[in-house]
Amino acid sequence: MTWWSATTLAAAIKSRELSATEALEAHLTAVDQRNGELNVVVTLDAERALAEAKEIDRAVASGQNLGPLAGVPMTVKDSLMRDGVRTTSGAPDLADFVADADAVPVAAMRAAGAVVFGKTNLPLYAGDVQSYNEVFGTSNNPWDLERSVGGSSGGSAGALAAGLSPLEIGSDIAGSIRNPAAMCGVVGHKPSYGICSARGQIPGPPGTLTQADIAVVGPMARTVEDCRLGLDLLAGPDEWHADAWSLNLPPARRESPAGLRVAVMASDPYCPVDPEIEAAINTVANGLEAAGAVVDYEARPERFDFAKADATFWALLGAAMAGGWSVAEIEAMAEAEAQGERPVGDLGVVGASARHRGWLTANERRLQMRKRWRDFFQQWDVLLAPISPTVAIPHDHSPNQTERLIDVAGEQRPYNDQMRYMGLFGMAYLPATAVPIGIHSNGLPMALQVVAPYLEDHTALAAASMVEEITGGTQRPPRYGTA
């Protein structure tokens, strides 16, 4: 049962085919058996979770009408607070911090009946596309222990891929849902910006009320169906707007490939993609076309310039993450850049020293691009694009992300290439669903992202279901046997 979907588990518990206690115990056993070599689940709250599961079993037995996830065990990323459980965000300064309230996304899942039994690993303050930190160490990919699970929701993706959890909550500012989903061969949905409250996530510090620019929280799972349910539970007005606002996301434009208008960006000279991933994306597009979709491999927004869009992304990202540096560090960066030096450091260092006037300029460029994307999606329903130009990378903990390199089909490319296709859509606030599309010749999963118009998350998810139908979706890593 540890390979069942969340919706399958929920139905089995509701019908009393399976108890919530049995489901939880099975997942705790899986963690005990598999997590040692993976190090993806880093904190357990087993005793309290068992008490909650038993209470749900009593409620089911008495005929109570419970939530859609009643009794489903799940883990959450260790940047999201869980009442009474330590939440570290991978930071030594928070190694002993115990939250006194649930983060809003965690509370939403628990209100639906989910039993949160553990926390999953991430990089320091969710600031990398690998998942390692001084508090809990390195998480290893279930497909190859010498490879990264991705990041920053890497422990989340690894737990899903290894059958340790059927459902997760990730967060994404530079691709932190989509990258690890791709690296581990699972599904993740990055919602439209602003529709899911992230209050209770670290960073910023505990108690922060700001929702950072670009940053979102969203569901991760092994099926698109589970991500659709997760989005329905997470989306809605936050506490600032709930008295007057409601959220009614548009239905999917199409529920089948017939008539679906699909644009394809399988690679780009600005950020070359591994030919096998490029070919796999085109194969999916061919499959959709054969099923009745209208497909175009050249369509782009008006005056599309990947390099300029990418520069805007890094400027906005740096501003959104600038709180991670001291004033003195920011001033030193500004002085160095004024002398023509290239910023060197970790995620967000590019653009971190910009003045507010610079941010206003970048934001206007972003709004101009958002308008062009809006016009583009008048003609097209979805865009298929890469997530990363490569599959899961070998562990690389060398300092300064800006100095790291990755191998893309034998060519050494900048480490930050892994975030360019994700940043392109994230900074424009567009929804995007990561979905597996097959296995590379080196045995590692490949994936694409289905991008849809702003607020049309259900169009992205519906198209991702079509992709899932063509490719078979999530596969079990060979080390855990066949399905």
Same domain, 158 and 217: yes
Same domain, 339 and 431: no
Residue 349 lies in a domain: yes
Peptide bond into 152 cis (omega under 30): yes
3-state secondary structure of 211: coil
> Cα(378)–Cα(92) distance, rounded to whole angstroms?
48
Q: For strands 294-296 and 261-264, give the pairing.
A: parallel
pLDDT at 460 over 70: yes
> Cα(105)–Cα(118) distance, rounded to whole angstroms?
15
Interval 425-444: pLDDT, tens: 999 999 999 999 999 999 99
Give me the pLDDT at residue 481, please: 87
Single out the residue in 366, 394, 414 at which a domain terminates.
Answer: 366
Residue 273 lies in a domain: no
Rounded to an integer, the average pLDDT of 451-479 is 98
Give me the pLDDT at residue 336, please: 87
Domain residues for the domain of 347 are 306-366
User: Residue 187: what are its φ and ψ, rounded to 5°?
Assistant: -110, 145
Single out the residue in 334, 366, 398 at which a domain terminates.
Answer: 366
Same domain, 322 and 395: no
Rounded to an integer, the average pLDDT of 34-38 is 98
Same domain, 340 and 442: no
Q: How many domains does the chain have?
A: 2
Share of the chain above pLDDT 70, in %: 100
pLDDT at 99 over 70: yes
> Cα(474)–Cα(468) distance, rounded to whole angstroms?
8
Q: Which neighbouring-strand residues pair with 75?
A: 118
> Cα(227)–Cα(166) distance, rounded to whole angstroms?
11
Same domain, 153 and 95: yes
Residue 436 lies in a domain: yes
pLDDT at 483 over 70: no
Rounded to an integer, the average pLDDT of 28-36 is 98
Same domain, 351 and 388: no
Same domain, 66 and 204: yes
User: Residue 141: what are its φ and ψ, rounded to 5°?
Assistant: -75, 130
**Residue 365 parent element (H or E):** helix 356-379
Same domain, 186 and 37: yes
8 Å CB contact between 348 and 317: yes
CA-based nearest residue to 471, from 180, 185, 135: 185
Catalytic residue positions, numbered: 77, 152, 176
DSSP annotation string for 430-458:
--EEEEEEEE-TTS-EEEEEEE--TT-HH
pLDDT at 193 over 70: yes
> Cα(119)–Cα(42) distance, rounded to whole angstroms?
6
Residue 266 lies in a domain: no
Give me the pLDDT at residue 211, please: 87
CA-based nearest residue to 4, from 115, 160, 112, 116: 160
CA-based nearest residue to 436, from 424, 421, 446: 446
Rounded to an integer, the average pLDDT of 133-137 is 98
pTM above the 0.95 mark?
yes
Same domain, 234 and 106: yes
pLDDT at 283 over 90: yes
Burial 250-268 (b: 16+ CB within 10 A, else e): eebbbeebeebbbbbbbbb
Same domain, 353 and 393: no
Rounded to an integer, the average pLDDT of 282-298 is 98
Give me the pLDDT at residue 338, please: 87
Residue 281 lies in a domain: no
Residue 184 sits in a domain of what CATH number? 3.90.1300.10
> Cα(233)–Cα(222) distance, rounded to whole angstroms?
17
Q: Which neighbouring-strand residues pair with 144?
A: 141
8 Å CB contact between 395 and 386: no
Give me the pLDDT at residue 342, please: 87
Residue 278 lies in a domain: no
Give me the pLDDT at residue 97, please: 97
Interval 350-380: pLDDT, tens: 989 989 999 999 999 999 999 999 999 999 9
Structure token digits, residue 88: 């570290």
pLDDT at 262 over 90: yes
Q: For residue 137, what are the CA distances in angstroms to 126, 166, 176, 395, 439?
A: 14, 23, 18, 12, 28
Which segment of 142-156, 189-203, 342-356, 411-425 scores lowest on mean pLDDT?
342-356
pLDDT at 343 over 90: no
Single out the residue in 339, 366, 393 at which a domain terminates.
Answer: 366
Q: For strands 261-264 and 382-385, give the pairing.
A: parallel
pLDDT greater at residue 325 or residue 164? 164
pLDDT at 482 over 90: no
Same domain, 424 and 452: yes
How confident is the prediction for the chain on average, in pLDDT?
A: 97
pLDDT at 26 over 70: yes
pLDDT greater at residue 335 or residue 309? 309
Share of the chain above pLDDT 90, in %: 92
Residue 87 lies in a domain: yes
Q: Which residues contact 248 (CB under 8 A, 6 or more apart)?
A: none
Residue 318 lies in a domain: yes
CA-based nearest residue to 43, from 94, 4, 1, 8: 94
Same domain, 89 and 223: yes
Work out the pLDDT band at 473, boundaries 50, 70, 90. Answer: very high
- The dihedral region occupied by 93, where left means phi > 0, alpha psi between -120 and 50, and beta the remainder, is alpha
